[in-house]
Amino acid sequence: DTGVSQDPRHKITKRGQNVTFRCDPISEHNRLYWYRQTLGQGPEFLTYFQNEAQLEKSRLLSDRFSAERPKGSFSTLEIQRTEQGDSAMYLCASSPQYEQYFGPGTRLTVT
Amino acid sequence: DQQVKQNSPSLSVQEGRISILNCDYTNSMFDYFLWYKKYPAEGPTFLISISSIKDKNEDGRFTVFLNKSAKHLSLHIVPSQPGDSAVYFCAGAETSGSRLTFGEGTQLTVNP
């Protein structure tokens, strides 16, 4: 199966710590997206890459959040100085055109 | 600003009957609409999509209808099966490759 993969699947961290998540997209997709989902809500857009270029960032993405996609392959999402409000499911998706294909997500719990 | 709304948090139907999930949107710039299904602890799975220049798209048991004048779309599943029980999200996109804007989701339960 060559779908989107994310690592880790679960992360528990203490408030104030930094965390980093990884996403490996479907290999032939040049677009990669990050979303965040909280309970009872749909996924909310965070940021988007086309190849290695970060083309769009949401207002939701505070200065504590940074994302990279070196060489246009895998991507990382880092959250610095985590807060309890950062607890959510972080979803990565890749796309050839309109349809986006999601990974299983990383569940972050900030204690 | 909730650009995509799914007003029914839940829907329960009997196996074999039709499931109809509804979605309303406010953003006239949406060019493409998609439906996703999500099981607990998994990422959303793409189901079916429709371009704004069409009013219907069908794929097996799934049909999506778009009414642009009413800014409304619906997903029909027929016949419904217990394995269809999941949360269904509709989403809109302004252009190819742009962000998706999701609704809040509808929990579908199909009873045997």
Please, which residues 46-105 of chain B have a Cβ atom closer than 8 Å to chain A? Answer: 46, 49, 89, 91, 93, 96-105
Show Cβ contacts of residue B53 under 8 Å, excluding neighbours closer than 6 positions. none
Across the interface, do B101 and A56 touch by the CB < 8 Å criterion? no
CA distance B95 to B31: 6
Cα–Cα dist A103/A7, whole Å = 10
Which backbone phi and psi does A10 adopt, to 5 degrees? Answer: -140, 145
Tens-digit pLDDT profile for chain B (112 aa)?
A: 789 999 999 999 999 999 999 999 999 999 999 999 999 888 999 999 999 999 999 999 999 999 999 999 999 999 999 999 999 999 999 987 789 999 999 999 999 9
Give every CB contact of residue A13 below 8 A, 6+ residues apart in sequence. A19, A82, A108, A109, A110, A111
Calculate how close chain A gets to B27, using CA atoms only, in Å.
16
Interface contact A44, partner B, CB < 8 A: yes
